[in-house]
Structure 1
C-alpha cells in the first residue's frame, strides 16, 4: 500500500499521464536503445542521433532523468542500471512491447475511467470500431491493432510465464485444455517444462491461426493442438485431466467465472485439476499497486464486467463450481501473478 504523507507525494498521481508519456517518448524515439549502444552521450549528440531540436531534446532528457530512467553527470547521459540490465538479459523487447501496448491501445480509453465507473461499463471500447461488447470481438475490424494486440499479449505472457511455469503443478496430468490460450504462448512454455503432457489451445479462430504458426515454429505440433469453440456455450471436449484458465477470468463477471469453472468441472474426470492463472489483488483490498492501476484497463476497455479480483474470489468460485483441495500459489516476481487450483472430487 502506498501512503501519501506530503504534497510532494501527490506529484506522481497528479502528473502520472505525463510520466508515462516521457517513458513512451524515450522508447518510441529510440533514446534508451541509443544509450544502450553508445554507453553515454551529451545532449547535443543525443539530439543529433534522434533528429530532435535542442528544445525537444532538453524536454525529453529532463523528463526521463527526473524519473530515474536515465542518469546524468558532467553533462553526459546514460541509462539507469535497471534499463541496461534489460538490454543485457534480452527483456527489453518485452518491456518495449508493453509500453507500446499501453500507448496505442490503452492510453486514450483510460481517459474514460470516470464514465466507465459511473455506468459500470467499458466505455472506452467506443474508441474501437466494430460489433461486439468486448475488445476481442472488435479488434478484427482494425487488423493493424489486432496484430499489435496479440503481439503485445505474447510479451505480457512472456513477462509472466516464469510464474506460470513455476507455480502451475501439472504433476500426474496427461492432457491440459488451455481455455482462451491466445497464440499458444502459455501452452508452449508449459509443454517445454512438462514433456509428458499434451495441450489443446482453445480460442477464437483469429488467435488460433497465429497459435498454429507459433506451435509449429516451436517444434511442438505433435503435443499442442488447437480447437475453436465458444467457451461459454459449447461443451468442453473430454479426454483432458487438466483445464487451465490463463489470464482469462479477469475478463468476465463473477457469475460468468463460476459458469466457466463449472464447464471445466463437467469436462474433467475425478481427480482432474482446474488451474487459474492471473494477476491477483490482495484480500485486504489495499494493493498491490500494479493490480490497482492495471485495473483501470479492465474497467474501461476489455469487457463490460472485467476486473482484477482478489485471491479469495477465486477460492469461492472454485468451491462453488464443485472443486476441493483449493490451493494458492503466489508468484515471487515484481508482477502480482499467481496460480490457484482445485481438484474435482477432493474435499
Structure 2
C-alpha cells in the first residue's frame, strides 16, 4: 500500500487572512448535510455500483439501488454537486479520485471510516455544545448501554462494535507502515501494546520482527476479539493478551518498548501522565515509550483535522480527551521520568491516531494527516 494514495492534503486550502469568507461559512453551516450524501452513497451502494458497471443513467441507478425517482434525484444532485460523482450527458460516473481509490483497493478503508462517522461519531456529536459546557462526554448518552465509557458500551451493541473495529483496523492499517518502521528501528524483543484493540498493530509488528514478542493489555470485552485475530494470524506463540484495565493496576514489567497507539487522545493529561508513569516502571532501563497518535500544533491553531477529530473525543469515548499539542505530551513524559524526546512526523492518510519514544497516529479526517512521534527513553534503574 502506498501512502501517497491517502495524501488528500490538497483538499485543505489555506484560510483567508482574516478568517472565513462566505463560501467557507456555507461549508460550515451545511457540512453535516454534505457528509450525509457521502454516507448515503456508501450505504446505498452507489459507489460500488458505478465501480462495477461504469457510467449509468439515472433510471438504471434508481432501479439497481431500489430508489424511487425523487429519492434518486436527491442522491444524484448531492453527489454530483459535491464531486463524488460526475455527470456526463445523461449518465453518472465516479469522480476520478473515488475511482482510483476503488481500483487500488483502498476504498474499503474510506467506507469503513464513513460508517464509523455515520453510526457512532455523528450520534454523540449532537451533544458537542453540551459536552463543552459540562467539560465531559455528554454524547455517550446517545450510545445504548450501561458501560462507563464508549468501549464498554460497544460490547453491549454487536453491530456498533463491528463498525468500530472495522474502522479502527482500516485506520491502523493505513498508518502501520510508519509505526512498524519506527518501532523496528528500536530492535525490541519484548513490547507491551497498551489498549491494543483487535491486535492489528501487534500482528503487524510481530510479522515484521521475528524475534519480537508482544503483550496486549486490553479490557476483557475487547481481549476476546484480539485473541481470535491472533489465532487467525497464527501468532499465538508470540502475541499474548493480558486482560485488564490499564488504569486500575500496574502494568506487567520487563519490556523494551511500551506502545500507546491511538490511546493518549482519549484521556485527560493527568490520566496520561499516570499511564506514562506506569509505562516507565514497566520498562527496562534504556527502554522506550512510543506514543502513536495525532497531535496538534504547539501554536494551538491547527491543523484543521486535529480540530475536527477533537469533536469526537470531546463527546464520546471518555470524560477527557482531544488531539493534544506536542508540548503537552512533552510535559507528561518529563513528569513521568523520561529523558529527552524525539519527535517524528509523517504525512499519511485521511482522518477518522513512545513512552521512551513517542510516535503518533495519522489525523482522522479527509485532509492532511500527520503521524507524529516523540521519542522518550527510560534512564536509570
Q: With structure 2 as the length reference, what TM-score do the two structures score? A: 0.87
Aligned length: 346
Query: Which residue, out of 12, 15, 25, partners 1:2?
Result: 15
- Aligned with 1:216 (options 202, 225, 231): 231
1:179, 1:243 within 8 Å by CA — same for their partners in 2? yes
User: Is residue 266 of structure 1 aligned with residue 281 of structure 2?
Assistant: yes
Give the structure 2 partner of residue 343 of structure 1: 377
2:89 counterpart of 1:74:
yes
Matched, 1:183 2:217: no
Counterpart in the other structure of 2:359: none
Q: Which residue of 2 aligns with 1:61?
A: 76
1:287 maps to 302
Question: Matched residues in 2 for 1:132 and 1:331: separation?
Answer: 36
Alpha-carbon deviation of 1:25?
Answer: 0.6
TM-aligned CA deviation for residue 267 of structure 1? 1.3
Alignment match, 2:178 = 163
1:173 pairs with 2:151: no
Aligned Cα root-mean-square deviation (Å) = 1.6
Say if 2:152 and 2:221, in contact at 8 Å, map to a contact too: no
Deviates more, 1:243-252 or 1:76-85: 76-85
What CA deviation, in whole Å up to 9, does each residue of 1:22-49 have, x standing for no partner? 0001001100111111121111211111
Q: CA deviation at 1:5?
A: 4.5
SS at match of 1:271: strand
Which of 134, 151, 167 aligns to 1:152? It is 167
Contact 1:164 1:339 in 2 (8 A): no
Deviation at 1:197, TM superposition (A): 1.5
Task: Tell me the CA shift for residue 111 of structure 1.
Answer: 1.0
Return 5+ residue gaps in structure 2 as ranges: 1-13, 349-367
Q: Structure 2 vs 1, CA of residues 247 and 105 (structure 1 numbering), >3 Å: closer, same or farther? A: same
Aligned equivalent of 1:48, options 51, 56, 63: 63
What is the Cα deviation at residue 129 of structure 1?
3.2
1:303 and 1:53 mapped to 2: Cα distance? 41
Moved over 6 A (4+): none
Given that residues 341 and 374 in structure 2 are in contact (C-alpha distance below 8 angstroms), is that contact kept between their aligned partners in structure 1?
yes
Contact kept? 1:163, 1:332, Cα under 8 Å: no
Given the two structures, how large is their TM-score scaled by the length of structure 1?
0.95
For the residues of structure 1 that align with 2:346 and 2:184, how far apart are their CA atoms?
A: 13
Give the equivalent residue in structure 1 for 2:291: 276
Alpha-carbon distance, 1:137 to partner: 2.0
